[in-house]
Amino acid sequence: MALRVGVIGGGQLARMMIAPAVELGIDLRVLAEGEGMSAQLAATEVGDYRDLEVVRAFATGVDVVTFDHEHVPQHVLRALVDDGVSVHPGPDALQFAQDKLAMRARLAELGVPQPDWAAVRDAAELEAFLESHDGTGVVKTPRGGYDGKGVRVVRAASDAQDWFDALGDGEALLVEELVGFVRELAQQIARRPGGQMVAYPVVETVQRDGVCAEVIAPAPDAPERLAQVAEGIGRAIAEGLGVTGMLAVELFETDDERILVNELAMRPHNSGHWSQDGAVTGQFEQHLRAVADLPLGDASPRAPWSVMVNILGGPAEGGLVDRFAAAMAEHPSAKIHTYGKDPRPGRKVGHVNVSGDDLDDAVYVARAAAAHFA
């Protein structure tokens, strides 16, 4: 019988696990949040991932449970583990991707470099932090934020008053120093339950309006020391938190030559989409190998450069499929991936990968091909 891997969440990350699952002989099953999700081809069930009995019933039909997102509540995850279900990443690791305050505290214990930070429960505590950090800080909601949501640059405590007003008893916001960075990087690590790890090259990510727009692999002009530091940080976090599956560590390269951890994701990640076509083993296959405790694949690049450009929003008129022929005809070296989503301003609806020997050419082709879908 084929190994059955269940993915909770029916988004594009689950969708992109389907092809490698077929190649690996894995029976992939998806618990989708609703009808018509990106991963509908493998969606065997539709239900609420916050409902323990729904998730418990889904888990009875699989050998391993993994995730398209980090939002499954801890009590649900821990109940699955208590039931004897193989859950990867497990709740002990996943809690640090779910709660940014918990992440900051644990990374501090591990000695991982990160921005100055504090938990603030009211305006007075935030004001004290701002006064000691040149009057500026970055306030984040500890849970639920992504793609620029739940993040504010503040210069006065009143800038976050509505968030303070919404806090429950014992809750706090996270405030961090506003880091002066020259660019953003990302380091991906794959880790099996037994501890085997494989590192991908550190990449440069370009954000627009809080959303990842482009990725260059490997990061240009990255000295060997930087690559070693980034990989060392990723390995230390994967080992220290007990992550299984793919781990993405978002990093700042600062203007005073520090490498600092920004955020974590314990699943395939936008910064690794380039690897679908640009690495010997893409991140989606690697994640399945890792959570199934299969030997990890080679993460080496297939070409000197790979560029990923996100398709954001989609065309104002017509569908994405209407644009494929022209994009393919003009840019045959571009690999186009779409997510089965309806166009909507700012929404990630697909991405384009291009690999080659010349970085400028790869960037041009990837941008030009993606522009067909705007």
Do 49 and 25 reside in the same domain of the chain?
yes
Question: 147 pLDDT band (50/70/90 cuts)?
Answer: low
User: Which residues, other chains included, contact 348 with Cβ-Cβ below 8 Å and sequence gap of 6+?
Assistant: 12, 147, 211, 270, 310, 311, 312, 339, 341
Tokens of 365: 């082709």
Domain holding 74, by residue range, is 4-87
CATH number, domain containing residue 74: 3.40.50.20
pLDDT 10s digits, 261-313: 999 999 999 999 999 999 999 999 999 999 999 999 999 999 999 999 999 99
Is residue 134 domain-shared with residue 269, that is, in the same domain?
Answer: no
Q: Give which of 43, 35, 33, 36 is closest to 69, Cα–Cα.
A: 33
- The yes-or-no verdict on residue 17 having pLDDT over 90 is yes
| Predicted local confidence at residue 346, as pLDDT | 87
Mean pLDDT, range 340-366, rounded to an integer: 95
CA-closest candidate to residue 191, choices 245, 272, 265: 245
Q: pTM of the prediction?
A: 0.95
Whether 270 maps to a domain, the answer reads: yes
Question: Do the beta carbons of residue 10 and residue 32 sit within 8 Å?
Answer: yes
- The answer to whether residue 144 scores a pLDDT higher than 90 is no
> When comparing pLDDT for 77 and 321, which is higher?
77
What does R_g of the chain's alpha carbons equal in angstroms? Answer: 20
Domain shared by 202 and 288, yes or no: yes
Please state, in angstroms and rounded to a whole number, the distance separating the CA atoms of residues 121 and 189: 34
- Tokens encoding 304: 């000197």
13 and 161 inside one domain: no
CB atoms within 10 A of CB 239: 14
Query: What digits encode the pLDDT tens for the residues 64-123?
Result: 999 999 999 999 999 999 999 999 999 999 999 999 999 999 999 999 999 999 999 999
Predicted pLDDT of residue 43: 82
**What percent of the chain shows pLDDT beyond 90?**
90
pLDDT at 145: 61
Strand ranges across the sheet with 86-87: 43-46, 27-32, 4-8, 64-67, 86-87
Computed over every residue of the chain, the mean pLDDT equals: 95
Residue 318 pLDDT > 90, yes or no?
no
**pLDDT at residue 148 above 70?**
no
Segment among 6-15, 139-148, 317-326, 338-347 with least mean pLDDT: 139-148
Domain total for the chain? 3
Residues 171 and 186 in one domain: no
pLDDT, tens digit (0-9, with 9 covering 90-100), for 161-220: 999 999 999 999 999 999 999 999 999 999 999 999 999 999 999 999 889 999 999 999
Cβ burial of 145 (10 Å; 0-12, 13-18, 19+) is middle
Joined together, the tokens standing for residue 60 give: 């009875």
- Tell me if 293 sits within 8 A of 192, measured CB to CB: yes
With H, G, I as helix, E, B as strand and everything else as coil, classify residue 5. Answer: strand
Q: What is the pLDDT of residue 55?
A: 98
pLDDT value of residue 61: 95
Q: Do 297 and 266 fall within a single domain?
A: yes
Q: How many CB atoms lie within 10 A of CB 155?
A: 12
Cα 99 to Cα 30, 50, 76, 190, 364, distances in angstroms: 25, 16, 16, 21, 38
Structural domain includes residue 342 = yes
Q: Where are the alpha helices (DSSP H) in the chain?
A: 12-15, 18-24, 52-59, 74-82, 91-98, 100-110, 123-131, 161-165, 224-241, 275-278, 283-291, 324-330, 359-371
Out of 87, 104, 124, pick the residue that ends a domain.
Answer: 87
Distance of CA 356 to the CA centre of its chain: 25
Specify if 104 maps to a domain: no
